[in-house]
Every structure is written in structure tokens, then in C-alpha cells.
Amino acid sequence: MRNRNQPNDHTTKKSSKNAASHTTKKAGGGRSANTNSAAKASQYTVDQPTELMEFLLLSMPNKGRNTIKGQLARGQVFVNQKETTKYNHPLKQGDVVSVEWMKAKEEDKPIGLKIVFEDEDIIVINKESGLLSIAGGEQKELTAHRQLLEYVRRANPDNRVFIVHRLDRDTSGLMVFAKNEKAKLTLQNNWQEAVLERTYVALVEREVKKAEGTIVSWLTESKTLMMYSSPKPNGGQEAITHYKVLKATKAYSLLQIHLETGRKNQIRVHMQDIGHSVVGDKKYGSSTNPLGRMGLHAQVLVFIHPTTGQPVSFKTDIPGKFQGVFGKSN
């Protein structure tokens, strides 16, 4: 992937999960709409046969589709006092639909990830260090993919979610998943072209004295799954990494890293190449671990949306622990 000039309209979209409010207007699809302020619930009576999602969209014109889907997925929608999660649940005249606006149950919240954006085609998450992206083989370990699959199937058991790209278990930050086959294929088949920017922050060992630079090498993978770097073409994949020093002491440096290509373990190998391994990365030469985790975070992700064809941009904060090693004075 080559660096490209970024459009001016790359605005980070906020998660639709946070869009709910407790204001209730008169239902457009029902006879009345009442709010029980004590329970933070809205209630509507059905005027004519329809499906639940269509009714809710008409009844709550100030709520987005994803907000309503979130309420359904979390079991906060009731038809005649019975919990209903299916968006196409049939309604008949006289049915009473209630929507609770309480926060999601703690046991329903994903562990080790936060959904930062969701629409009909994609889910973007901020993954914590230590969470596996997807399990291999018959592993039953808790993963980002497994939790998102459970999440989308609360709305409809037939829903699916597909992994588009991966982050190493000990790397935190932004990942995108597809919610249907078409979006998955569009993103996977054109990932290098679709991604306009991928920026990481890395805490590495010792002071990086050159303020910025570019690392170019060819990477090959061994049978033991180690990535090896060569300064000359050797049949491997070309890897290009750009870095800029944000902070530095004699002990550590905080780098902003732009990937021009996206190879497996690329940043980790290239940091070892220049003698500044990512902290906590024993596999690629680190001897220190001040964070209790690997010091790599996927901070910025900009890509072409698989359906709209428009750029979408997401950015997270630098983890506080990364800043903490430099002390308050820095």
C-alpha cells in the first residue's frame, strides 16, 4: 500500500451505540407514545399489521436504525411484555411495543473490545491488548470475532460477521469486520487499495536519535512462523515502514508509524532491524516490558467504505501507559 494524499472530509464517525436519548416523540407508526421516566422506557400501540423494525423506525423518527438495532440486540425491546430480538417480528393491530433505554447488561458487554462504529455493512472496533482477533482450528478461546458474532446474532440468529484483517494478540487498536459476504469480499480483495492510511504508535527500547526515517526490507516467514528481514530482494515481500519520533529518553522512544505496506509482523521486525525493538516483544528482541504488554497500538485507520465508496476515518487516543513511561514532566 502506498501513501496517498488524504481527502479533507475524512471525519471520524461516532458509534451509533451511543446515539440513544430518552426523549420520546409521538409515534409515527403507532397510535400513541408514552414514556415511563422511572424505567426510561417508551411505549407504542400498533395501528396496523407490520414488522417490528419498520414500526420502530416510524415510531421513533429521532432514532437511527443502528440505535434501534442495538436496543433489539441487547434485549431491550418488548412486544406485549415479551422480550423480542428479531427485527422482522410480525406485529398486529393492538400490540403494545415497549423500548427500554437502560444501559446494556454488564454480562452482554464484549470483553476486551469496544465498538466505535457500526452500520449495515461493517463494524469497527478498538481491540485491547491480549485479545485474539480470531481463533485458529478448533480453539474455543474468547476472541474478537466470536464476541462480535454473538453480538450480531442477538438481533438475528442468521447474522454473520467476517474478519477482514488481523491485529496480533498483544497489539491493541482499530480493526474492521464485515457484516455480510459482499462487504467482506470487497474489502479483502482490495485491502491494500482500500486502505488510505494506517497509523500506529509504538513504544520502543532506547532513544531513537534520528527524528524520522523510512525502513525498507523484504520479509519471509519461516516454518516456525518467525518473520525474517533482508535488505535485498530474496523472494520475500517488500515491506516499507515510515516512522517519526514523538518523544524520547535514553530508555524509551514513542514513535508514530505509517505503514506503506501491510506485512505480517512488519513493524515488529523493522523495529528490531534498526535496533529498537518494541517493548514487551520478546519474539523480536525486546528485553524490557514496562507496560506489562507489547507497546504497539493501531491508532488511525482510513479506508474506502465497501458500499458507499466514500472514505471513512477512525482515530483512537494513544494508550495512557505509553505516555506514562516518560513521566509527568514530559
Contact present, 20 and 63 (Cβ < 8 Å)? yes
Contact present, 208 and 255 (Cβ < 8 Å)? yes
Among candidates 162, 171, 132, 194, which has minimal Cα distance to 265? 171
3-state secondary structure 68-125: HHHHHHCCCEEECCEECCCCCCEECCCCEEEEECCCCCHHHCCCCEEEEEECCCEEEE
Cell numbers at residue 293, please? 504488554
Cα angle value 319/148/12 (rounded, 5°): 50
Among candidates 277, 296, 298, 299, which has minimal Cα distance to 288? 277
170 catalytic? Reply is no
Question: What is d(CA 233, CA 217) in angstroms, rounded to the nearest whole number?
Answer: 8
CA 305 to chain centre: 14
- Residue type at position 267: I
Among candidates 74, 89, 83, 79, which has minimal Cα distance to 45? 79
Cell numbers at residue 167, please? 491485529
Cα angle value 305/307/313 (rounded, 5°): 15
Catalytic residue of the set 95, 119, 168, 281: 168
Helix, strand, coil shares of the chain as percentages rounded to 5? 20, 35, 50
Instruction: Report the catalytic residues.
Output: 168
